[in-house]
Chains A and B, each alone.
Chain A
Amino acid sequence: MSVREYLDRFLGDESETGTPIQRIVGSDAALVVGLLLAVYVVFIAIGTVLGYGINGQVNALARLTFLTAVYALAVLALNLHWGYTGLFNIGVAGFMAVGTYTMMMVSAAPDARVPGLGLPLWVGILAGMAAAAFIGLIAALPALRLRADYLAIVTIAFSEIIRISYLSSTLQSFTIAGTELGTGGGGGIGIQNDPDTVILETLNAIPGIGSVIGGITSVAQNAGVQPSVVNNWLYAIVLLVFVVAFYWLLARIGNSPFGRVLKAIREDEDVARALGKNTNLFKIKSFMVGCALMGLAGILWQGSLGFVNPNTFLPQVTFFIWIALIIGGAGSNTGSVVGAALFAAVLFEGPRYVANVASQTLELGSSPSTFAGAVGALFDLEVATFFAYALNNIASLRLILVGLVLIWLMQNRPEGLLGHRKETASSIPLGRPTRDSAVTDGGEEQ
């Protein structure tokens, strides 16, 4: 199937009834774009309450778009594992770490604080993806033998082994074949020409696009938006292009014969094997492809910041990605993107904004330094003081909210927002044929 056909499907060609406008309104693309716009409107409103200037507003939206895009990348990759193949991988952070670290070690300059090979960035990115896929292969070997819950424990142990290894001072710097290399240990590793910088430089170097970017930057500058904020937006848009590419790739995989076998394995591995499919091989391939994508997601996410340390890749990161997938609905690519957007906006960024609004508008006074003080205030019927303590500790309340949402979803809607959808296992439209002569093989008309 061509790119064109996929775009048609994404843009709502499947429902062949209704006017073109109705088709687009009901489509997945409209759902995602509509959701993003709705989130933007809410955040602009909050920003207005907080008294953000235009620069602050635009920057907040850029950060939101960045977070949505990077979560969408990671969630889509995870969807290949869990949504398509039923592999319960809770070591996502580890594979992202391998991708990011390998990219940095390959592409960092040889004279940097933590020396690298100094190869071009694209070599580093490919090496990072390959390394993540290779580590995925090693982790996938147990996947063949284990039940889903054992695999969960193995993958999280793997991701911790990876993090501990990067954290260790033994590997902080070492020499292979006369070349000095290192992981930086607890101090982390940095890179001058990170993906963010290189991609924007490349875009600027293309004559037509470069002048357009220059034009936008100067217009924005006149409106009071700093060039760095424009650059944040540009990189966020580049990430959105990557999201579309991931989506396309996954839709393509899902609708291919390969993807149908993966879904068969997810539903009932014994049946798939009985039909003569080498399910182990399929699982390994699926795991490796997903890990490579996770590596790329890590590179574009943490790698773009130019500096990482091992604690960037705590298991918590994995669980955030999982929650986004569960919100959206495992098995649905559109759901993955929707889940990523909702997670980034409502659970990740939202609580902080709400707390800021509350503390600006409510005049709560100063927060007590400990919980005991806050409860003491509650006894004195000073609810505002307790509230001030809660707002001051919004970071931990946010994670409690994350846990509550996760439990609520598992109890009431384990299939997520879009996971209930029927997945057509066919590469041709299964809708009612437009002409009666379509039923020529003796089959019943649906």
Chain B
Amino acid sequence: MVLLGLIVGLVVLFDLGNKLMTGQVTASTLFVLVWRGIVNGLVIGLAGVGLSMTYSILNFANFAHGDYISSGAFAGWAATWVVAGLGVADIGSLIVLGAGGDVYSSQLQTSVVGAPLAIVIGIVVAGAGAIALSLVVDRLVYKPMRNQDGIALLIASIGVAFILRYLLVFVFGSAPRSVAETPPAVKGTLAGVQYSFGYHELTLVVCAIALMVGVHLLLQRTKLGKAMRAMSDNKDLARVTGIPTEQVIRWTWVIGAGLAGVAGYLLILESGTIAYNRGWILLLLIFAAVILGGIGSIYGAILGGLVIGLADTVSLVWLPSEFTQAAAFGLMILILLFKPNGLFAGRTTA
């Protein structure tokens, strides 16, 4: 099976090389696709860490994870707008991100260049908002259900997803709108390849990598990581050993939802447009990444995110644009079929 995968991979690489040589695909196009794939992949990976952790420690597929991403994004952007727009517009209009059509992002210059402080505050609020939300939801919904099986929790999480998504619609309205201004990108040519790095793309990459390293250190240097590994292996045994399981669960939510909220904020920063269902649409790709990397593995989720992100964009070389997402889902189904433990199986939670 591995051999078959290797052969397919080689054929794809050979074809790509062939296309590059014959000029069907230029190096500059490929650069754009790969860079976009990395940017998207980092968002997916960052959000995937939390999904992977809750999946292995609480034993259920959290279908509300995408809506934690959206909720964090909305909370963070509301904060950014309030900070950037105080004095420009009415605070009520700023908090609902101009739902009434009375204030626009172009008035506020919300970008890392135009309003760096507002962006930093926004990132912090996005993370904190998602964390607070996840702790409240855990207390109200999941804690009373600790003894139920994963399917019951999964169904409950679908209910949570509905509530969060349509609360966002209730508060912010359903119309997608521009919330961030995109500053001009850094462009140039290197060895015949035209490159272009957006400020927001770079911000995203730096923040994502910093957070990933931070989580890595947190789980390697503290006892928390060990406790999490113990819990994902055997919850009862962990409790008998004296691990405060409820506390570990709370930390799982703090890390997972915090990363999800920041990922949501960065996603919107990079694309410029916010909509209530952005996280939900991203959720299946995140699942694909987590499954690809092996449920429970943080590094797996990050690498899986990069693979899915790259597959989603680089497959444009062969597929019409409508099908790239289908290709990523197809990749996930194949992985589930032939390697259900993921590519990095056996390494759970750090």
Contacts and interface: CB of A to CB of B under 8 A. Distances in A.
B117 interface: no
A164 B329 CA distance: 11
A152 B55 CA distance: 14
A169 B326 contact: no
Nearest to B101: A369
Interface in A144-175: 145-146, 148-150, 152-154, 156-158, 160-161, 164-165, 167-170
Interface string A374-406: 011000000000000000010011011011111
B246 interface: no
B60 to A, nearest CB: 7
Contact of A372 (B93, B155, B160, B162): B93
A157 B284 contact: yes
A369 B336 contact: no
Interface residues of A, number: 46
Nearest to B161: A403
Nearest to B60: A149
Contacts of A149: 60-61, 150-151, 154
A170 B96 contact: no
B144 A411 contact: yes
A372 B337 contact: no
Contacts of B92: 370, 372-373, 375-376
B70 to A, nearest CB: 14
A232 B288 CA distance: 43
A169 B95 CA distance: 39
A400 B325 contact: no
A224 interface: no
A247 interface: no
Interface in B150-167: 150-156, 158-163, 165-167
A322 interface: yes
Contacts of A152: 61, 151, 154
B329 A161 contact: yes
B171 A371 contact: yes
B337 A164 contact: no
A326 interface: yes
Given A142-B337, A410-B156, A372 B95 contact: yes
A414 B156 CA distance: 10
Interface string A57-96: 0000000000000000000000000000000100000000
Would you list the 6 A-B pairs with minimal beta carbon distance, nearest first?
A372-B92, A403-B162, A406-B159, A168-B322, A403-B163, A407-B159
Given A154-B333, A158-B329, A169-B322, 4 more contacts: A148-B151, A153-B287, A371-B170, A403-B159
Interface of A: 88, 141-142, 145-146, 148-150, 152-154, 156-158, 160-161, 164-165, 167-170, 319, 322, 326, 369-373, 375-376, 393, 396-397, 399-400, 402-407, 410-411, 414
